Amino acid sequence: MKRLLITGAAGTLGGFAREHLAGFADELRLSDVTPVTDLAQHETFVAADLGDKDAVEEVVRGCDGIVHFGGISVEKGFDLIERANLRGVFNLYEAARKHGNPRIIFASSNHAIGFYPQGQRIDADAPPLSDGLYGASKVYGEQLAVLYWQKFGVETARVRIGSCVPKPLNRRMLSTWLSPRDMFGLAKCCFAVPELGCPVVYGASHSDTSWWDNSKVAYLGWTPQDSAETYRAEVEAAHPPETVPEDESRFQGGVFTAYPIYQS
């Protein structure tokens, strides 16, 4: 790949992407509203607010692939979510179809299905069950991806990311954890497969207590290399069951299911 765009490059997963995707494309084009200044030789930075249609078009022009991490990444008020996750995703897909249909990794979230009970196994065909405005915005993004695939042939991996952090931090994350290495192993498989289509993929490393079934995307050839089991004893000892709040242990989305609708 010549030029790969990473939106949200100043954020947590953007930082992991810069590390794990170095060398995957001749150029990593980084974009965010927050400047990234410590650029390596193979990196360029173009500032863009996802809510600004012209700026997004400029960023997407000339890219062969997109990892879309930009946007509001937690529960917030509607106006913020609307600009980045609704209008912003629309701007991204409009720019993609005008500029050669680059393949897209769309960072959806487990909060698109957050109201499924913990312990219930679901697969790609499970209807969305968002746990807040943030989760609902991810459902919208997933649907926009399908629309642009059907109408214009833009291919997207709709990755319902669990919890992408260096290691699981609580009992829930023993089921939702996605190692950064597995996140980008998955992204590479999605770019390499001859025909991607527009699948829903659950972004999680191995876990003996996984809630998510990726059997429908076996054709991607992705096998997680990391396992939450490595950390189970440590996490369970640090978080005895009686100390875990009920909100965290009831639904797949954990505490997000208990948040109010924020007004700003």
Site string for ligand NAI, 106-135 (x = CB under 6 A): -x-x--------------------------
Q: Which residue has the tokens 């998955």?
A: 186
Contact 71, 85 (CB under 8 A): yes
Partner whose footprint covers residue 49, from ligand 15L, ligand NAI, none (CB < 5 to 8 Å by kind):
ligand NAI
**Do strands 163-164 and 65-68 pair parallel, antiparallel, or not at all (unpaired)?**
unpaired
Q: How many CB atoms lie within 10 A of CB 220?
A: 18
If one asks whether residue 11 binds ligand NAI (CB under 6 A), the answer comes out as yes
Q: Does the footprint of ligand NAI cover residue 69 (CB under 6 A)?
A: yes
Q: Is 168 in the site for ligand NAI (CB under 6 A)?
A: no
**93, 134, 140, 202: the active-site residue:** 134
Dihedral of CA atoms 166, 171, 173, 175 in degrees, nearest 10, equals 130
- In the bound state with ligand 15L, the residue whose beta carbon lies nearer, of 103 and 172, is 172
Nearest CA to 241 out of 157, 170, 183 is that of 170
Site string for ligand NAI, 83-102 (x = CB under 6 A): xx---x--------------
**Nearest residue to 6 via CA among 41, 40, 30:** 30
Adjacent-strand bridge partners of 45: 30
Sign of CA dihedral 215, 217, 219, 221: negative
Q: State the residues that interact with ligand 15L by CB under 6 A.
A: 73-74, 109-111, 163, 176
134 is catalytic: yes
Task: Indicate the residue among 14 and 102 with the shorter CB distance to ligand NAI.
Answer: 14
CA atoms 61, 62, 65, 70: torsion sign: negative
Binder to ligand NAI among 12, 120, 143, 150 (CB under 6 A)? 12
The candidate with the shortest Cα–Cα distance to 7, out of 26, 39, 25, 34, is 34
Any contact of residue 34 with ligand NAI (CB under 6 A)?
yes
Q: Which range in 3-11, 97-105, 166-174, 249-257 contacts ligand NAI by CB under 6 A?
A: 3-11
Binding residues for ligand NAI, rule: CB under 6 A, are 8, 10-14, 32-34, 49-51, 69-73, 83-84, 88, 107, 109, 161, 163-164
Q: Which residues are catalytic?
A: 134
